[in-house]
Amino acid sequence: MTDHSDPSVAGAPARPELLTRFSRLIGRIIPDALSTSVIMMLLVLIVALAMGSSFSAAIDAYYRGLWMLLPFTMQMTLILVLSSALGASPVFNRIVRAISRVPRTASQVLALASVVTAVLSYVYWGLGLTLGPLVAVYFAREAEQRKISVDFPFLLATTMAATSVWQYGLSSTAPLMMATAGHFLEKTTGLMPLSTTIFAPASILYVVSFLIGAILLARAIQPRNPEPLSRFPDAYRLADPIKAAEAEPIAQRSPMTPSERIEGSWFATGTLCIALIGWLVYHFTVKKASLDLNSLNTSLLLLCLLFHRNVKNFSRALQSAIVSCWPVVVLYHLYAGVAGLIQFTPVGERFASAFASVSGRYTFPLLTALASTVVAIFVPSSGGQWVIQGFVTTKAAEAVGVTTQRGLLSLGVGDQMGNLLSPFWAVIASGIARIDFRRFIGYGMVYSALWFVLGVLIFTFLPA
């Protein structure tokens, strides 16, 4: 019989046990995401009032922010629903299961799942966000079936950490914004070629070294007493594809109504697929536009229709997938209200200015990353954060004698640090994987420390 355990893990000290207790402690301390948004609102409100804002101005700022993410919320809702429907298709199941059969040990499961998720995230952040949790589910299911001991919450935290590479990937918001003519800082900085930001040697080294470091760290700290996927029934059921291909074809049922013929045929889905393909071709070739949330959702919808083949199968998948979107329908608006307090009161700019005013050449990356970490916890948008901190960061970089690129790249370190610490994005992953985010967010804090330290060192001492 093949031994699927890792020798390094079998003889490891009790550190994983301590880490597991730490993760569970964090889960008990952190309130649910809705309660967290209320606590954030009260804290920022107090700070805004202390900085001189009137109560009425602060309330107005909160309300202005409360509904400013309406389109974004619907986009994220569709991402959750469509990605879950895609993950339920037999085709997706076969592809991911084929890849998940490659690992032979728990460490290899963690490594390959992280690499797959990181590649998706580097290409486009939305792909890692939506498909990464499903990759973790399928890898955990295959590992359990093959008697490989893998802790599912830890695997989910590890794949979520791997998505961090998007900050310096092909869809990194701030660098793309600064490379586009007409951006809001063009008169101050000019255009920033991507060769000086996401394709700079320091950025590439950061992406590669973090992924390698995260895999090595995962191997060292994986729990000794893992909780398999089967202990999380809702998540476990995600790995069971909707067996539409094995079901009795609707066309063979008698009697058949005209509506049943349409629902069970390629007609409706095929027609819609042609329309969606036409729009995507127009978007990418004629308009020469880049991948964004709308084109991502269009691509996800197209794949869902192709993989499920007919309206009957797709509708059945949607009925199951709709439960994945409940965390964001209201929650995002509550976070947007906090973002409004940051953006429409002096809080955001003064906070960033305070850090910039005490920074020097070698402390600038560290302080910029610290400032952006705090702001990112309240403003879960990379582009929105750069809009808030971009001007201050640019002026501070000029004052201390470093390039604006170094400031932008350092801000990305803190932005992702905040993303890893805040429940905002963990709720998305937990919604897709159907597990309480508090079961894995504590592990993510360990990866966030690696991300932060490595990023600050690289952007402090390497050319940027």
pTM above 0.85, yes or no: no
Return d(Cα 447, Cα 422) in angstroms, integer.
13
Task: In whole angstroms, give the CA distance from residue 345 to residue 332.
Answer: 20
Q: What is the pLDDT of residue 278?
A: 95
Best CA proximity match to 317, nearest among 82, 6, 40, 136? 82
pLDDT at 12: 43
Q: Per-residue b/e over 122-147, b at no fewer than 16 CB within 10 Å?
A: bebbbbbbbbbbbbbbbbbbbbbeee
DSSP string, 218-254: HHHH--SS---GGGSHHHHHHTS---TTTSPPGGGSS
Res 23: pLDDT? 67
> Alpha-carbon distance 201 to 373, whole Å?
23
Question: So what's the pLDDT on residue 97?
Answer: 86
Residues 6+ positions from 371 with CB-CB distance below 8 Å? 351, 352, 354, 355, 356, 389, 414
Q: Nearest 5°: phi and psi at 129?
A: -60, -45
Q: Residues with Cβ < 8 Å from 288, sequence gap 6 or more?
A: none
Residues of the chain short of pLDDT 70, as ranges, are 1-17, 23, 26-27, 30, 33, 240-256, 259-260, 263, 291-293, 327, 352-353, 355-356, 378-381, 383-384, 387-388
Q: What is the DSSP string of 99-137?
A: HHTS--SHHHHHHHHHHHHHHHHHH-HHHHHHHHHHHHH
pLDDT of residue 387: 65
pLDDT in tens, 183-192: 777 888 888 9
Reported as a single tens digit per residue, the pLDDT across 4-23 is 444 444 444 444 567 777 76
Q: What is the mean pLDDT of the chain?
A: 84
